[in-house]
Structure 1
Amino acid sequence: MSPPDSASPPESWLGGRLSLRQPPRGAHRAGTDAALLAASADSKTASGMTVCDLGAGTGAVGLAVALACPEARVTLVERDPEAAGLARRNVEENGLADRVRVIEADVTAPGRERRQAGLLPDSVDLLLTNPPFFEPGRTRSSPVSAKAAAHGFSEPGGLEAWLRTCADLVRPGGRLVLIHRADALPACLDALAGRFGGLEVTPVQPRADAPAIRVLVSGVRGSRAPFALVPALVLHGPDGRFTPAVEAMHRGAAP
């Protein structure tokens, strides 16, 4: 993919408050998952926090949080050089360079390599992440290399390594929120066990009468609070349109 120019104009996000450059259609692009993840950062609780968008792509989640939380300082972490380049441009074009930085790093790299890149232990108050969805061999890879890398891990045990890095970055008492496939919930809970407590799972259903397709999982590092399964978030009403709550999340208007 060539660097963004006038042929790849920015798209309107959050009701026009965020200008977001993304790769061409067919590549990995931010959508509803990103909107739901960004909405999990309540502006009241995230104000003044150090926030990390881990696996940020072009920065949609972290930039949305930076807009909603004017006192938050945000780090976007992305390993793909082209996506990281778009993220840097998005930071500049949205006037957020004073509070948002981009770190180009592999989330699953050894600790020493991550620290050299600037990912320091116990440095994050709120970490938001949309990990790759598939382990090797679990699905047919996209012919678009960047999309394949965004959707799947290259080595077995990738989710465990990813969430281990999350636990390294989040300070004790800090919060993690992730979004994943619904059928990956057991693997997510296994990887979080002993690292995060007070786990709260929100099923995400396409319709009220349909099984969940995503889960939002929230936890606090070191907490001993009990597990909670909370009411589902329903994406679409009977008319096929987004529900009012989800539509508001797309506009950045509701946590």
Structure 2
Amino acid sequence: MSSSTRIDLPVAVTEDSLLGGRVRFLQPVNGYRAAVDPVLLAASAPAQDGDRVLDLGCGAGAISLCLLARVPGLTVTGIEQAPEMRDLAERNAALNCVTDRFAPHLGRVEARPPLFEEGAFDLVLANPPYLETDRADLPESALKAAAHVEGEVPLAEWVEAAYRALRHKGRLAMVHRADRLADMLEPIQKRFGGLQIHPVYPKVGRDAKRVIVMARKGVRTPLSLSSGVVLHNMDGSYTPPIAAALDGSALAFGAPL
């Protein structure tokens, strides 16, 4: 991201940039601030021109906008329960001239149609709240709490919503904390096959802090684990694959273990 410029709207926001300036991005001063995770999910998402994509819990649109910058021929539908964040997503779509390709809607992840048509999407992306309600200290900001703490919608509901939304052989891609991998796999394995687990390591020799999990609806391919990707060199700089992804390139993971 570049340096921020504060802007006073109904929710105080800053204007930042993603992908080396290719994406202009308004986000709240006191709320969820886009970090590396949504950018890496967008960079690794198996998307191609013509795909219909659903961004569950799209927030201000970081994942959607980064994905559209890399694969322009998509159409993306966003679902976001916080009106302030949905409004920012709409502003960001206009700011980046993609209102014809990115449509954020107000609604809850677990909502049934007609919010979104069942089986209508080729790809579902999700960056769910990372913290379980009974293990989290709620932030003072309601927007930040909604982004970081599961609340009334457990992880299994995110997986179920993705399953309903996807067409046969459609794909799910989700980023989450590595220490919640078991919580992810339990509902995903009940509904999906072709699971691919990609660890994201902060540095060589450190335990993974994040995982990106991909799966397919209606297939039975066995689970695979890749060698993942390392975020930082020992001096703290980004490794070449991460630096390229943060500038807008696709992210490929290491070979299967």
- How far residue 121 of structure 1 moved from its aligned partner, in angstroms, is 0.6
Identical pairs, percent = 38
Contact 1:48 1:69 in 2 (8 A): no
Contact 1:46 1:126 in 2 (8 A): no
1:121 and 1:58 map into 2 onto residues whose CA distance is: 24
SS in 2 for 1:146: helix
Aligned partner (choices 173, 176, 192) of residue 177 of structure 1: 173
Deviation per residue, 1:98-145 (Å, 9 max, x gap): 111111111023x2xxx13x2111011011110111222111111111
Deviation per residue, 1:69-125 (Å, 9 max, x gap): 12111112111000000000000111101111111111023x2xxx13x21110110
Aligned partner (choices 93, 101, 104) of residue 102 of structure 1: 104
Contact 1:4 1:86 in 2 (8 A): no
- How far residue 10 of structure 1 moved from its aligned partner, in angstroms, is 2.1
TM-score scaled to structure 1, two decimals?
A: 0.91
Contact 2:44 2:250 in 1 (8 A): no
Contact 2:159 2:188 in 1 (8 A): yes
For residues 196-235 of structure 1, the aligned pairs below 5 Å read 196-235=192-231
Aligned residues: 245
Q: Counterpart of 1:20?
A: 25
1:150 and 1:27 map into 2 onto residues whose CA distance is: 8
2:248 and 2:195 map into 1 onto residues whose CA distance is: 24
**Structure 2, unaligned stretches of length 5 or more?**
1-6, 252-257
Q: Counterpart of 1:163?
A: 159
Contact 1:108 1:158 in 2 (8 A): no
1:205 and 1:160 map into 2 onto residues whose CA distance is: 25
2:10 and 2:41 map into 1 onto residues whose CA distance is: 25
For residues 40-189 of structure 1, the aligned pairs below 5 Å read 40-42=44-46, 45-109=47-111, 111=112, 115-116=113-114, 118-155=115-152, 158-189=154-185
**Structure 1 counterpart of 2:97, which letter?**
G
Contact 2:70 2:250 in 1 (8 A): no
**Structure 1, unaligned stretches of length 5 or more?**
none
Q: Counterpart of 2:243?
A: 247
- How far residue 46 of structure 1 moved from its aligned partner, in angstroms, is 1.8
1:8 and 1:134 map into 2 onto residues whose CA distance is: 24
**Structure 2 counterpart of 1:30, which letter?**
A
2:182 and 2:171 map into 1 onto residues whose CA distance is: 20
**Structure 1 counterpart of 2:105, which letter?**
I
- How far residue 2 of structure 1 moved from its aligned partner, in angstroms, is 6.2
| Root-mean-square deviation (Å) | 1.7
Q: 1:9 to 1:213 in 2, by over 3 A?
A: closer
**Structure 2 counterpart of 1:32, which letter?**
V
Runs of 4+ in 1 over 4 A off after TM superposition: none
1:135 and 1:8 map into 2 onto residues whose CA distance is: 27
**Structure 2 counterpart of 1:28, which letter?**
Y
